[in-house]
């Protein structure tokens, strides 16, 4: 057994493809906190987009792949990962795995004509992944000791909890909780300790519980309706913006792509950040207007 605690990273397809620097930020911040980060490379997608569109056969195929990927982190030894947390970079994808996957895989196995025992096995395998999966900010928040990076463990980065003499107080940021995080994972508050340790203060938007209009394939098949919902959310964002919020932060990249994409279409460069990026910036002492703008704009090899 390794001395350092292990975690497995579930980056999600959207982070992987559209904003990999969120994943990179997560790796760095976890390592700074003394964790050995594993990335099972056979992971693709949790299948939520297909699941929500009613394509359950296809969603189940992706779900099985996800289950396998996280079982195989240590080749040939599924038992070894049984207690290793799976850190998800999306509340929505974490909810898909923890709330839908066991039922889905069992049902799909039966639909494909598998024996009841086989279907049960798929359920159990999905359940063991469901037990392990936890969204990043929830996982950090759950153990206050974790929210600070640990310089003793090899990081040279300054921590935001030891503000320099010129620090004037926490950086206000607007915080958006995604709907699945809020209603399936039942996380209704911003991760106060995580933000505090990062030197930030989260301000929720008015009507915080309203959907931003992303909704997976909904955003693709209903662009006008989805954009109208985004615009309502962006109107609400005007309140924390007027109060000086430096950026919009969320634990769900889907919401951020939706809101950021709508801002950009209007020529608005207001920065949006994933919570992993925010913590990583803070770890490096760069949670400043300039640092935020750079992080939000950085193309990090993209494009």
Pick out residues in 27-46 that bind other proteins (CB under 8 A).
27-28, 31-32, 34, 36-45
**Does residue number 151 form part of the binding site for other proteins (CB under 8 A)?**
no
**Does residue number 166 form part of the binding site for other proteins (CB under 8 A)?**
no
Output the 3-class SS for 108-148. Answer: HHHHCCCCHHHHHHHHHHHHHHHHHEEEHHHHHHHCHHHCC
Nearer CB in complex with other proteins: 162/269: 269
Nearer CB in complex with other proteins: 167/210: 210
d(CA 275, CA 85): 18
User: Cα 162 to the chain's mean position, in Å?
Assistant: 26
Nearer CB in complex with other proteins: 173/181: 181
Nearer CB in complex with other proteins: 24/201: 24
Instruction: Work out which of 58, 127, 196, 204 binds other proteins, going by CB under 8 A.
Output: 58
**Does residue number 132 form part of the binding site for other proteins (CB under 8 A)?**
no
Q: Provide the minimum distance between the beta carbon of 141 and other proteins in the complex, in angstroms, as a whole number.
A: 21
C-alpha to C-alpha distances, 70 to 11, 77, 96, nearest whole angstrom: 12, 11, 15
Nearer CB in complex with other proteins: 172/226: 226
Size of the chain, expressed as the number of residues it contains: 303
**Does residue number 4 form part of the binding site for other proteins (CB under 8 A)?**
yes
**Does residue number 61 form part of the binding site for other proteins (CB under 8 A)?**
yes
**Does residue number 127 form part of the binding site for other proteins (CB under 8 A)?**
no
Q: Angle between the 56-71 and 101-111 helix axes, to the nearest 10 degrees?
A: 120
Q: Provide the minimum distance between the beta carbon of 100 and other proteins in the complex, in angstroms, as a whole number.
A: 9
d(CA 104, CA 97): 10
Note whether 26 and 11 are within 8 A (CB).
yes
b/e map 121-160, b = 16+ CB within 10 Å: ebbebbbbbbebbbbbbbbbbeeeebbbbeeeeebebbbb
Nearer CB in complex with other proteins: 146/180: 180
Q: Provide the minimum distance between the beta carbon of 201 and other proteins in the complex, in angstroms, as a whole number.
A: 25
**Does residue number 47 form part of the binding site for other proteins (CB under 8 A)?**
yes
- Residue 9: strand pairing partners: 87
Which residues in 172-231 contact other proteins (CB under 8 A)? 179-180, 183-184, 207, 209-211, 213-230
**Does residue number 136 form part of the binding site for other proteins (CB under 8 A)?**
no
The residue among 23, 108, 28, 25 whose CA lies nearest residue 63 is 108
C-alpha to C-alpha distances, 236 to 36, 219, 242, 252, nearest whole angstrom: 40, 19, 10, 18
Nearer CB in complex with other proteins: 80/201: 80
Which residues in 228-287 contact other proteins (CB under 8 A)? 228-230, 232, 257-258, 261-262, 264-265
Q: Provide the minimum distance between the beta carbon of 90 and other proteins in the complex, in angstroms, as a whole number.
A: 13
Degrees, nearest 5: CA angle 283-286-288? 135
Nearer CB in complex with other proteins: 78/201: 78
CB atoms near residue 76 (< 10 Å): 6
Binding mask 79-118 for other proteins (x = CB under 8 A): ---------------------------------------x
């Amino acid at each position: 057994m390794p001395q350092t605690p292990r975690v497995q990273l579930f980056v999600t397809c959207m982070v992987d493809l559209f904003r990999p620097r969120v994943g990179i930020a997560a790796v760095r911040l976890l390592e700074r906190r003394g964790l050995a980060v594993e990335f099972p490379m056979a992971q693709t997608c949790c299948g939520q987009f297909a699941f929500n569109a009613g394509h359950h056969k296809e969603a189940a195929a992706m779900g099985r792949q996800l289950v396998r990927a996280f079982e195989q982190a240590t080749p040939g030894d599924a038992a070894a990962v049984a207690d290793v947390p799976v850190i998800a970079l999306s509340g929505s994808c974490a909810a898909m795995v923890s709330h839908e996957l066991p039922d889905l895989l069992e049902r799909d196995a039966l639909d494909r004509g598998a024996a009841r025992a086989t279907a049960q096995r798929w359920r159990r395998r999905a359940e063991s992944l469901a037990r392990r999966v936890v969204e990043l900010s929830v996982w950090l928040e759950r153990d206050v000791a974790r929210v600070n990076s640990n310089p003793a463990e090899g990081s040279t980065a300054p921590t935001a909890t030891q503000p320099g003499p010129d620090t004037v107080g926490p950086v206000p940021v607007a915080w958006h909780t995604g709907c699945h995080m809020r209603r399936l994972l039942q996380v209704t508050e911003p991760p106060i300790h995580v933000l505090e340790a990062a030197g930030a203060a989260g301000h929720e938007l008015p009507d915080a519980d309203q959907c931003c209009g992303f909704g997976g394939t909904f955003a693709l098949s209903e662009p006008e309706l989805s954009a109208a919902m985004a615009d309502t959310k962006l109107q609400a964002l005007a309140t924390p913006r007027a109060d000086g919020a430096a950026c919009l932060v969320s634990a769900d990249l889907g919401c951020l792509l939706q809101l950021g994409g709508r801002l950009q279409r209007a020529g608005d460069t207001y920065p949006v950040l994933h919570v992993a990026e925010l913590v990583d910036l803070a770890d490096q002492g760069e949670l400043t207007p300039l640092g935020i703008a750079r992080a939000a704009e950085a193309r990090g090899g993209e494009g």
